[in-house]
Structure 1
Amino acid sequence: MQGVLGSVAPTTLKSYSAAVQRFGAFTWGAGDGAFQPPSQEEVLRYLAHLRALGRAPRTMRHDLAAVSFFCKALGFPDPCCGFIPRRAIEGWARLVPPPPDKRRPISLSILRCILRVLPDLCWSSFEVQLFHTAFSLAFFGALRAGELVAGSRADTSGRALSFTDVSWSPRQVLISIRRSKTDQRGKGAAVCLRASRRGPVCPVRAVGAYLQVRPPQQGPFLIHRDLSPLTRYQFASLLRACLEMAGLPPSQFGTHSFRIGAATEAAGLGLPDRAIMAIGRWRSRAFQSYIRPHWKSGH
């Protein structure tokens, strides 16, 4: 059983456990907390309950996957794999399509604006270089926030970029992505960022300058002077503050806007689809949904 539970990422196991607790509270109510093999009828009642609450089909699929996982792990029949539960969710999804993702891309010009206002928002030169490096890597590496920074100060999942994941030289930065949202088995991927001789923004120079002031500490690559990790909350909060100071609406952007911006910029340069897929490590043409109009004043 321990080996089966260890086959999924710690964050996934945590979210699955929470989903099963919600399912149990609705299906069985108060009890001794022991997992009981549910029937397909109970699963369908729970899905109808989630729909009545207005939960998205994505949430339904997640909770269904959680119940399915624990049923299989405990040796019970899986009531979630049948035709009716999955088709019910698919039908509800068609009836109420998800709202479009309206996040704007962070373009190279917006990145310059963000980096320009950092000294006005950070309390030390070290923090300026830390966030300069974090934002530069997020854009040029098309990185998800979860691949780059820690989920919290107490995050022990090891998903954040580690010091040993980064190899620097004056010409390039090599980044090892050990695991990502679409790579739960941990096959990993490599990202190579080349030095740029033109323009003030260069991820290689940013990493080099950061390494000169970074304490020689193993663990997360992006850390504060006190050795605590840069967290997702801090990353997102300062991004919003920078956007606002730069005269841009924070509500139209998010941490994923760096990745969206990388795809949009690459497409604007006329790169072929295969090259754009390689930049963001996309395995399909899903990247096309990331190519969006740039923000314009007055919009």
Structure 2
Amino acid sequence: MSLVTKLVLACLELNILIKAEHIPGHLNSLADSLSRCDFQKFRKLCPTADANPYMIPDPSLECLKDEADLLLKCSMAPNSWKTYKTAVECFKKFRIIYNYRHIWPVPIDEIAQFIAYLSYKGFSASTVSTYISGLAHTHKNNVTDNTKSFIICKMIEGLRRKNPQKLDVRTPISFDLLKRLIHSLRSVCNSQYETILFSSAFSLAYFAMLRVSELAINSRTDESGHALKCEDITFDKSKGQTELHVKICSSKTDQKHTSITLIIQSHSNICPIHAITILLAGSLLRRKWIK
């Protein structure tokens, strides 16, 4: 066992990927019986084991409250909570400016004036609609939701007509543009390692059609958990050619972690298979240089 521990630590230090395969044998028969749910065999091998299963004690009311809060927190994405919190804070600021009382449910005329206030401040119709949704979420907590009244819906519709959404001038990344981006990295990156790193990221994002949140974390406090991990990317050579398997464990449209695996075949020198292979080899050298 100590030999296996040393081997694993050495592989972690040198950034070597290990693929372990379970080989059943007489030395681990006890573990085999448990992993296969063969409890009769387990009882024969370990007759002194406790016959009564361990029962989890009933939680306290404080634990139930914490669990309820956690379930409510998990009901929406972290970014949605942040947006709704921003909406409520903006509404509180509006009430302070115009000396409104802090009462819920919010009167319809007060919501209407809040919409007018946001419009005067130059907020877009989509942002105003999102802010009103934030207020609606607060209203649904056992109070009457006045944000769905006729006049409020018409005011938001009027805001959309008054300030139509601007034309999105962004264009998708084409394969030719991807090649130009990768080739330009040599002129802007500080080292060959950075060039290979960003080349791998760009090509992987293109061929796997990844969102930014699926490729990298947004900040140190990112709680979404959508970003790819090293173990989510594997190579498969069983079909005579190298394939890249990318497992998307969760995403903006998969909040319940259903997961999906994308299979990318080798295309050219621009494909992520070629780039990531070079990156992994370069990571080993870079670790030695740092040491």
Say yes or no: TM over 0.5.
Answer: yes
Is 1:207 matched with 2:276? Answer: yes
Query: Aligned Cα RMSD in Å?
Result: 2.8
Is 1:37 matched with 2:108? Answer: no
Q: TM-score, normalised by structure 1?
A: 0.63
Partner of 2:205, secondary structure, is helix
User: Which residue of 2 is the match for residue 140 of structure 1?
Assistant: 207
Partner of 1:150, secondary structure, is coil
User: Which residue of 1 is the match for residue 247 of structure 2?
Assistant: 176
Q: Which amino acid aligns with 1:16?
A: Y
Question: Which ranges in structure 2 are unaligned for 5 or more consecutive residues?
Answer: 1-67
Which residue, out of 104, 109, 126, partners 2:176? 109
What pairs with 1:189-268 in structure 2 (closer than 5 Å)? Answer: 189-196=260-267, 199-214=268-283
2: CA distance, partners of 1:186 / 1:64: 29
| 1:6–1:42 CA distance, 2 compared to 1 (3 A) | farther
| 1:180–1:61 CA distance, 2 compared to 1 (3 A) | farther
| 1:186–1:54 CA distance, 2 compared to 1 (3 A) | farther
**Greater gyration radius:** 2
Which residue, out of 175, 178, 193, partners 1:126? 193
8 A contact 1:24–1:35 mirrored in 2: no
Q: TM-score, normalised by structure 2?
A: 0.64
| 1:214–1:44 CA distance, 2 compared to 1 (3 A) | farther
Q: How many Å apart are 1:85 and its aligned residue?
A: 2.0
Give identity over the alignment, percent: 31
Q: Which amino acid aligns with 1:210?
A: L
Partner of 1:25, secondary structure, is helix
8 A contact 1:57–1:93 mirrored in 2: yes
1: CA distance, partners of 2:76 / 2:182: 37
**15-24 vs 2-11, greater mean Cα deviation:** 2-11
| 1:176–1:94 CA distance, 2 compared to 1 (3 A) | farther
Q: How many Å apart are 1:147 and its aligned residue?
A: 1.9
Is 1:56 matched with 2:130? Answer: no
Question: Which ranges in structure 1 are unaligned for 5 or more consecutive residues?
Answer: 216-223, 226-299
1: CA distance, partners of 2:230 / 2:87: 34
CA deviations 1:28-81 (Å, max 9, x no partner) are 5599x9884322222221111111112111101110111111222x32222223
| 1:27–1:191 CA distance, 2 compared to 1 (3 A) | farther
**63-72 vs 75-84, greater mean Cα deviation:** 75-84
Partner of 2:246, secondary structure, is strand
CA deviations 1:131-180 (Å, max 9, x no partner) are 11110012112222122111124434322222232222352222233333
Is 1:23 matched with 2:91? Answer: yes
User: Which residue of 2 is the match for residue 68 of structure 1?
Assistant: 136
Q: Which amino acid aligns with 1:59?
A: T
Q: Which amino acid aligns with 1:137?
A: L
Partner of 2:262, secondary structure, is strand
